[in-house]
């Protein structure tokens, strides 16, 4: 079994739906329970054994750089952990963001987390454990919802492999309850796939397109979360996240 000790956080987004909350603060730094969201994410990744980190930055990236510098000073034993920020530049999609990583990041299994999700630390640990057990496949976390119409609906077979994804299906049309969480463990084969992906209708290199390829090759397993997750995309969900943090 190969343990995953590299982690990438996609923290370039603006968070338009959060309105004035992200006018001066990038979405990954909005406060959740008195701590920046990115602090929660990094803590979970550290709990899972990650020792090298790349933070993909974009909107208000200087603020993210400053936070990472302070976080590193507090949390990173210099002899064992490596942290770097990588600027996405043009905002051309989540797949494009991952292609900005230097070549050495592309040589080993890597955890990838969206910078606007909140899950319990235990879920990062479970992801790392399942990724080690399923050494021949990438792994994506999924959650059970009433209707996955607001994200990517994920179809999974009896062996736990993802068979297909449908991005934002019309309400009431999905026959799966699983939704993409935005937390993954990828094998290095992801990067050649991303390099071949054609831009979507909105001109972006979409990570979802690469997930489709992995699913078609039966190289992508699903990990259903044991606990709730919160996609912090709106003020209402941010309020839920604060309630969740207070309860813990």
How does pLDDT run across 69-127, given as a tens digit for each residue? 888 877 665 556 788 899 998 899 999 999 999 998 889 999 999 999 999 999 999 99
Kindly report, residue by residue over 118-154, the tens digit of the pLDDT.
999 999 999 999 999 988 899 999 999 999 999 999 9
pLDDT band (50, 70, 90) for residue 1: very low
Residue 132: inside a domain, yes or no?
yes
Residue 234: inside a domain, yes or no?
yes
Range of the domain at 220: 6-247
Phi first, then psi: what are they for 130, rounded to 5°? Answer: -65, -40
176 pLDDT above the threshold of 90:
yes
Q: Round to whole Å and give the CA distance between 10 and 93.
A: 10
Residue 1: inside a domain, yes or no?
no
Please calculate the CA angle 113-116-118 and round it to the nearest 5 degrees: 80
Mean pLDDT of 43-59: 93
Q: Are 153 and 176 in contact (CB under 8 A)?
A: yes
Phi first, then psi: what are they for 103, rounded to 5°? Answer: -60, -30
Residue 196: inside a domain, yes or no?
yes
pLDDT score, position 13: 87
Residues sharing a CB contact under 8 Å with residue 70, sequence separation 6 or more, in sequence order: none
Residue 108: inside a domain, yes or no?
yes
* Percent of the chain residues past pLDDT 70, beyond the cut: 96
Count of domains in the chain? 1
Q: Round to whole Å and give the CA distance between 85 and 75.
A: 16
CATH code for the domain in which residue 114 is found: 3.90.550.10
Residue 125: inside a domain, yes or no?
yes
Residue 169: inside a domain, yes or no?
yes
pTM for the model: 0.94
Residue 144's DSSP bridge partners are 178
Tokens found for residue 221: 């397993």
Reported as type and span, the H/E element at residue 26 is none
pLDDT score, position 233: 86
pLDDT score, position 77: 58
């Amino acid at each position: 079994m190969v343990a995953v000790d590299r982690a990438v956080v996609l923290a370039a987004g603006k968070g338009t739906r959060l309105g004035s909350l992200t006018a001066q603060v990038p979405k990954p730094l909005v406060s959740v329970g008195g701590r920046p969201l990115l602090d929660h994410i990094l803590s979970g990744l550290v709990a899972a054994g990650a020792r090298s980190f790349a933070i993909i930055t974009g909107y208000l990236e200087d603020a993210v750089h400053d936070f990472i510098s302070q976080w590193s000073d507090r949390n990173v034993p210099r002899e064992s952990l490596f942290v770097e920020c990588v600027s996405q530049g043009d905002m051309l999609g989540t797949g494009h963001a991952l292609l900005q990583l230097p070549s050495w990041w592309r040589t080993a299994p890597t955890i990838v987390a969206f910078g606007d999700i909140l899950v319990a630390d235990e879920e990062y640990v479970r992801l790392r454990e399942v990724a080690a057990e399923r050494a021949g496949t990438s792994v994506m976390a999924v959650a059970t919802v009433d209707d996955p119409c607001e994200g990517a609906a994920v179809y999974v077979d009896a062996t736990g492999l993802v068979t297909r994804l449908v991005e934002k299906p019309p309400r009431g049309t999905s026959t799966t309850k699983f939704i993409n969480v935005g937390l993954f463990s990828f094998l290095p084969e992801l990067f050649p796939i991303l390099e071949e992906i054609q831009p979507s209708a909105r001109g972006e290199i979409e990570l979802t397109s690469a997930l489709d390829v992995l699913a078609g090759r039966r190289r992508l397993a699903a990990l259903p979360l044991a606990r709730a997750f919160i996609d912090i995309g709106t003020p209402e969900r941010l309020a839920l996240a604060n309630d969740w943090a207070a309860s813990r």
